[in-house]
Chains A and B, each alone.
Chain A
């Protein structure tokens, strides 16, 4: 098995074996070797991200621009680079402002078109009369009622969760401002839904991390087995 591998693959396997062990050691205690492995990880990630940004975004898109546009974009990039030094950072403000302004507009437009409207529309999906009619006509009245209950649970959950994050309070003289009583009650219901949601999300993340842990432990076992059998 070891003979079939190239030297580069063999070195790679040993490197990833050592790195995996160093990172997993963190489960016992923080140590300097773990931090070195993380520095290596950050270095490779940052180097790769910047190289990809250059080769896949900046160069291909810049080559498609006309000469005047190209000069403007180059000037913009130079101004952005001014932010690197505290002394010249002010010169870069307009360039950064342009980037932030467009980013903010894209975030606002994207949130309305991509999240707010679809989510609000989807909240009413379970109450669609056509869905009820189809279920009742097909003789599945229970299914129709099931849809209705699920839709109600989702609707109540959505409204109560949003109400939990409502921090408007009624000011009162010589008293700490308090929320309206009705909002307080709905907020408690919202807290229940948030606890359930976080529980489900936590379970999903835990399953994923456990899978990663088992995969890494299996890798360590395989490498040790490979070397024992290879020798």
Chain B
């Protein structure tokens, strides 16, 4: 059995990764749109299945935590929330008898997901101010000053006072659509080049994130 399992080590995974990747890359160069659609359709099922498997793994980890430590209240809350949301969403979709008086998936999203999400964003407003202040006090340099100055100018320009003034609008346009566009484009191209390099490393077998 051990020998059988060891046969499935990285070489086999690498062969699958490289061959599937090369076939997929070929569909970008050659007129093979139909083949690309079939591969993508199947891979989307696999990716969605991987997500579900990942969620089950999360569930298993927290079940283990509850078993080991009876005081793991957070894990217990997570397990209950996960299972209830999962069951309720599927029941609502596939059965016609889900009662109106019970909270459905819309209720869970409206009254739990959205409030926590926007409250977390609200907390971020406080932490961002703290982070900006720390940049100035702890790492003062010409570039941190430029960062804070740009931040202040952009914030002032987006107020009613800034929008009413022609100078404010001109400065805002030059910073946002001129200087920042250049930096943003450089960062976007850099990210794309990094993605290509990482992808090619996987397709050449240098990186094996699938195991082994």
Residues of A participating in the B interface, judged by any CB pair closer than 8 Å: 7-8, 11-13, 15-16, 19-20, 23-24, 26-27, 32, 35-55, 57-58, 61-62, 64-65, 69, 73, 76-77, 80-81, 83-84, 88-109, 111-113, 115-116, 119-120, 122-123, 149-150, 153-162, 164-165, 190-210, 212-217, 219
Contacts of A65 in B (CB 8 A): 42
A107 touches which one: B10, B83, B198 (CB < 8 A)?
A: B198
Q: Is the CB of B185 within 8 A of A93?
A: no
Would you call the interface of chain A mostly helix, strand, loop, or mixed?
helix
**In whole angstroms, what is the CA distance A153 to B185 when docked?**
11
Chain B count of residues within 8 A CB distance of the other chain: 128
Contacts of A49 in B (CB 8 A): 51, 55
Would you call the interface of chain B mostly helix, strand, loop, or mixed?
helix
Q: Could you jot down 11 A-B contacts, CB within 8 Å?
A: A12-B107, A19-B112, A43-B81, A58-B45, A90-B5, A109-B24, A112-B28, A154-B178, A204-B154, A206-B128, A209-B128
Contacts of A123 in B (CB 8 A): 185
Q: Is the CB of B185 within 8 A of A203?
A: no
Q: Which of B165-186 contact A (CB under 8 A)?
A: 174-186
Asked if B32 lies at the interface with its beta carbon under 8 angstroms from chain A, I say no
Contacts of B31 in A (CB 8 A): none
Q: Is the CB of B77 within 8 A of A43?
A: yes
Q: Is the CB of B146 within 8 A of A90?
A: no
Known: A47-B83, A48-B105, A61-B41. A40 touches B112 (CB 8 A): yes
Contacts of B155 in A (CB 8 A): 203, 206-207
Q: When each residue 183-210 of chain B gets 1 if its CB lies under 8 Å from chain A and 0 otherwise, what string results?
A: 1111111111101101110110000111
**In whole angstroms, what is the CA distance A196 to B210 when docked?**
39
B112 touches which one: A7, A41, A165 (CB < 8 A)?
A: A41
Q: Is the CB of B158 within 8 A of A203?
A: yes
Contacts of A198 in B (CB 8 A): 147, 150, 183
Asked if B25 lies at the interface with its beta carbon under 8 angstroms from chain A, I say yes
**In whole angstroms, what is the CA distance A199 to B158 when docked?**
13
**In whole angstroms, what is the CA distance A65 to B43 when docked?**
13
